[in-house]
């Protein structure tokens, strides 16, 4: 049975990916909470903001497993505010979770040759800036470019940054808390909220189309282009 490793599985897209993949794969998770209902065969408790914990969790995972798919899914939005009102410490947690924890995981998977496909859940914000979104945009751009460099350096592994489109999750609820007079783009998210795909719908789409997307050997794919 193929093994799948997913980070950030306690809610949102990560929880739904776990549910969808457990139908015919062994799902292994790296996340910080273990809810009452879960879909994993193996769970490794890890705060991804704590990079020492990340290193221990992925070393342990790679000791005895080979992963067909690794989903680098966990991510945080970080504060939305004008960049000049944010200091570098505001960016640190988001860079640790959205970028450096993923780099640690990728490096161990490559060192131990224990992965076939690495899929990082990306965003349109990886390629486009928005007023007030510099923390999220900078981290998503950084991990997208890191993934592209890894892809060139390691042609034996498939690296894909996959933008899911808007998904009705905890992250979207966080965006809805902001006032559009402070962060203009929030208006668009509020208007779109009711019609956004659910995390289950998005996970099913990924499950159905992932292999054909991977065959295209692109380093970035937006699910809205299906």
* Contact mark string toward ligand NAP, 164..183, x via CB under 6 A: x-xx-xxxx-----------
Is there binding between residue 49 and ligand NAP (CB under 6 A)? Answer: yes
- Tell me how many residues contact ligand NAP (CB under 6 A): 28
- Give DSSP secondary structure letters for 29-86: EEES---SS---SEEEE--TT-HHHHHHHHHHHHHH--EEEEEE--------S-GGG-
Is there binding between residue 11 and ligand NAP (CB under 6 A)? Answer: yes
- Torsion (CA) 47, 50, 54, 57 in degrees, nearest 10: -60
Sheet holding 3-7, edge to edge: 42-45, 26-31, 3-7, 67-72, 115-121, 158-163, 220-222
Is there binding between residue 185 and ligand NAP (CB under 6 A)? Answer: no
Is there binding between residue 12 and ligand NAP (CB under 6 A)? Answer: yes
Minimum Å gap between C-beta 97 and ligand NAP is 5
User: Which helix (DSSP H) or strand (DSSP E) does residue 161 occupy?
Assistant: strand 158-163
* Contact mark string toward ligand NAP, 59..98, x via CB under 6 A: --------------xxxx--------------------x-
Minimum Å gap between C-beta 185 and ligand NAP is 12
Query: Which CB atom, from 6 or from 214, has the smaller least distance to ligand NAP?
Result: 6
Closest C-alpha to 109, from 73, 152, 63: 63
- What tokens were used for 215? 């065959």
Cβ-proximal residue to ligand NAP, closest one: 12
Report whether 57 contacts 108 (CB < 8 A): no
Closest C-alpha to 141, from 159, 157, 123, 160: 123
* Contact mark string toward ligand NAP, 125..154, x via CB under 6 A: ------------------------------
Binding site for ligand NAP (CB under 6 A): 8-14, 31-33, 47-49, 73-76, 97, 121, 123, 164, 166-167, 169-172, 199
């Amino acid at each position: 049975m193929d093994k799948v490793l997913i980070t950030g599985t306690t809610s949102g897209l990560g929880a739904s990916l776990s549910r969808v993949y457990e139908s015919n794969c062994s799902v292994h998770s790296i996340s910080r909470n273990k809810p009452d209902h879960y879909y994993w065969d193996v769970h490794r408790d890890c705060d991804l903001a704590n990079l020492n914990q990340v290193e221990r969790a992925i070393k342990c995972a790679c000791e005895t497993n080979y992963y067909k798919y690794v989903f680098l899914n966990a991510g945080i939005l970080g504060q939305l505010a004008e960049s000049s009102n944010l200091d570098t410490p505001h960016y640190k947690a988001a860079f640790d979770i959205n970028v450096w924890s993923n780099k640690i995981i990728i490096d161990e998977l490559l060192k131990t040759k224990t992965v076939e496909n690495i899929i990082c859940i990306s965003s349109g914000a990886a390629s486009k800036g928005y007023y007030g979104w510099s923390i999220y945009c900078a981290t998503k751009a950084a991990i997208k470019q890191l993934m592209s460099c890894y892809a060139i350096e390691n042609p034996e592994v498939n690296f894909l940054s996959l933008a899911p489109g808007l998904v009705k999750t905890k992250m979207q609820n966080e965006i809805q808390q902001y006032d559009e007079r402070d962060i203009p783009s929030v208006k668009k998210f509020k208007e779109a909220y009711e019609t956004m795909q659910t995390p289950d719908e998005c996970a099913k789409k990924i499950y159905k189309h992932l292999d054909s997307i991977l065959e295209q050997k692109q380093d970035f794919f937006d699910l809205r282009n299906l």
